[in-house]
């Protein structure tokens, strides 16, 4: 074993690149011809020899080097490679000092929001600000316990928002996994909450699928005594069966009434951010009835950008609540027929009564349908078939509204 005197007097012969002076337990002092002296620990992992640098002498004394050696050997005995442990310690030292839940969550949010749609980003931010920050904002994330997170999310359940509660847990889980990745906490505690929340079974949008009942609804819609903007939107909702937000946000620039086409930009479609930025627009063939309704509305709103501008601001469309309220005044509440439910109404009757090809229907609904090889069909295909289907669908709605004999569901 070495002594302090030997360490002080150790030199490297001029004809050698380095000289090693062994201590014990694999530790040695390495001396260069220039006189620098460094401590190393030699050990093996899976049969491969490694050297752990432990500092320079005399900054690290013989006693301190032996303590570092013993600590490294304890890590190795516990199954941890001392060099790998050193790398992790350096990474941890370089992580931001602020490790509260709020700082961690906002850092996670900032790193991910560029790949999210604006709607999704708003929802994630709301989950944080409304349901998590009030309880954990200034807490060190590694100190927060799973039972505390569960208690916070139970408060969301208590207000009857079961679906929101599950989304808040998903948001919390993403933050904790980011905290694990950035060495702020050792594990994702939200994994312990799997199955702890009240199960949420998503409800389908209310939709009338009986042709006779649909005919009655079409009649009362056409007799709506409200303004022409809302009346036109109500009539187009079952006829075109696009998503409510896409219908309400219809712009005159998106319409080619001579060609009977409505081109919805990708950014307005319900897609992930990449699909919004790089995807194709969704083209909706317009039946003659829709073209007539839009031409009749043009003198009223055609000088503006939006087809269905709101009363308070012409720069914003009518709200979804406006159409819901209109249906309600007609006697069709949200448990009977929703605006979004017109999609299910059309899908069901077109397939089961009028017997149109499901692929044509799904293309009209702007659903991504995959073939046998898992490739998504282009949403702009089936245009000829969809144009024919949309005209027949509008004609069928006219027949229903008139109370004419209609095709009924076939008996099973």
pLDDT, one tens digit for every residue, the chain (412 residues): 899 999 999 999 988 999 999 999 999 999 999 999 999 999 988 888 999 999 999 999 999 999 999 999 998 888 888 888 887 677 656 655 578 999 999 999 999 988 787 778 889 999 999 999 999 999 999 999 999 999 999 999 888 888 899 999 999 999 999 999 988 999 999 999 988 888 766 556 788 989 999 999 999 999 999 899 999 999 999 999 998 889 999 999 999 999 999 998 878 876 666 666 667 888 999 999 999 999 999 999 999 999 999 987 778 899 888 999 999 999 998 889 999 899 999 999 999 999 998 888 888 888 765 554 444 555 447 889 999 999 999 999 999 999 865 555 554 4
Please state, in angstroms and as integers, the Cα–Cα distance from residue 161 to each residue in 19, 198, 250, 270, 341, following that order.
Answer: 72, 10, 31, 23, 21
In angstroms, the CA 173 to CA 188 distance is 7
In angstroms, the CA 380 to CA 274 distance is 18
pLDDT of residue 250: 92
pLDDT of residue 412: 43
In angstroms, the CA 273 to CA 271 distance is 6
Please, is 347 exposed, middle or buried when counting C-beta atoms within 10 Å of its C-beta (0-12, 13-18, 19+)? Answer: buried
Residue 399 backbone phi and psi in degrees, to 5: -65, -40
In angstroms, the CA 283 to CA 369 distance is 16
* Pairing relationship of beta strands 255-256 and 37-45 according to DSSP bridges: unpaired
Residue 125 backbone phi and psi in degrees, to 5: -65, -40
Angle, vertex CA 404, rays to CA 402 and CA 407, nearest 5: 125
pTM over 0.75, yes/no: no
Active site residue 204: no
pLDDT of residue 135: 94
pLDDT of residue 89: 72
Fold observed for domain 4-94: Double Stranded RNA Binding Domain (3.30.160)
Q: Does domain 101-193 have CATH number 3.30.70.270?
A: no
Cα 223 from chain centroid (whole Å): 41
CATH of domain 211-402: 1.10.443.10
- Outline where DSSP puts E strands in 36-107: 37-45, 48-56
Active site residue 201: no
Cα 57 from chain centroid (whole Å): 54
Q: Where in the chain is the domain with CATH 3.30.160.390?
A: 4-94
Nearest to 233 by CA among 293, 162, 289: 293
Q: Where in the chain is the domain with CATH 1.10.150.130?
A: 101-193
Active site residue 282: no
Q: Where in the chain is the domain with CATH 1.10.443.10?
A: 211-402
Say which of 69, 166, 343, 347 is annotated catalytic: 343
Say which of 340, 347, 379, 386 is annotated catalytic: 340
In angstroms, the CA 113 to CA 111 distance is 6
Say which of 272, 316, 375, 402 is annotated catalytic: 272
In angstroms, the CA 174 to CA 176 distance is 5
DSSP 211-225: HHHHHHHHHHHHT--
Active site residue 377: yes
Say which of 42, 324, 377, 399 is annotated catalytic: 377
């Amino acid at each position: 074993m070495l002594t302090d005197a030997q360490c002080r007097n150790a030199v490297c012969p001029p004809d050698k690149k380095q000289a090693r002076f062994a201590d014990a337990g694999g530790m040695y002092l390495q001396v260069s011809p220039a006189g620098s002296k460094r401590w190393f620990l030699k050990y093996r992992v899976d049969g491969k020899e490694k050297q752990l640098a432990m500092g320079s002498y005399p900054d690290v004394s013989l006693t301190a080097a032996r303590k570092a050696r013993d600590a490294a050997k304890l890590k190795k005995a516990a199954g941890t490679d001392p060099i790998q442990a050193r790398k992790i310690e350096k990474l941890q030292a370089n992580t931001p000092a602020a490790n509260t839940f709020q700082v961690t969550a906002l850092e996670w949010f900032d790193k991910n929001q560029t790949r999210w749609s604006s709607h999704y980003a708003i929802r994630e931010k709301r989950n944080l600000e409304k349901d998590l920050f009030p309880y954990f904002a200034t807490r060190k994330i590694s100190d927060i316990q799973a039972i505390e997170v569960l208690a916070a999310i139970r408060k969301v359940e208590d207000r009857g928002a079961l679906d929101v509660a599950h989304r808040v847990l998903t948001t919390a889980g993403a933050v904790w996994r980011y905290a694990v990745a950035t060495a702020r906490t050792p594990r994702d505690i939200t994994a312990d909450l799997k199955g702890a929340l009240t199960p949420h079974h998503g409800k389908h949008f209310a939709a009338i699928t009986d042709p006779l009942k649909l005919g009655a609804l079409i009649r009362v819609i056409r007799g709506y005594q409200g303004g022409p903007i809302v009346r036109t939107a109500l009539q187009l909702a079952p006829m075109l069966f696009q998503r409510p937000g896409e219908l309400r946000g219809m712009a005159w620039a998106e319409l080619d009434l001579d060609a009977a086409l409505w081109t919805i930009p990708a950014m307005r479609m319900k897609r992930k951010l990449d699909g919004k930025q790089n995807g194709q627009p969704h083209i909706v063939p317009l039946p003659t009835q829709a073209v007539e309704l839009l031409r009749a509305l043009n003198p009223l709103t055609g000088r503006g950008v939006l087809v269905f501008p709101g009363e308070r601001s012409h720069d914003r469309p009518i709200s979804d609540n406006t159409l819901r309220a209109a249906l309600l005044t007609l006697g069709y509440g949200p448990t009977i027929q929703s605006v979004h439910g017109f999609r299910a109404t059309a899908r069901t009757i077109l397939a089961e009564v009028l017997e149109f090809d499901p692929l044509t229907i799904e293309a009209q609904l702007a659903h991504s349908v995959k073939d046998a090889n898992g490739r998504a069909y282009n949403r702009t295909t089936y245009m000829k078939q969809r144009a024919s289907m949309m005209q027949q669908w509008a004609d069928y709605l006219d027949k229903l509204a008139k109370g004419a004999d209609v095709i009924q569901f076939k008996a099973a």
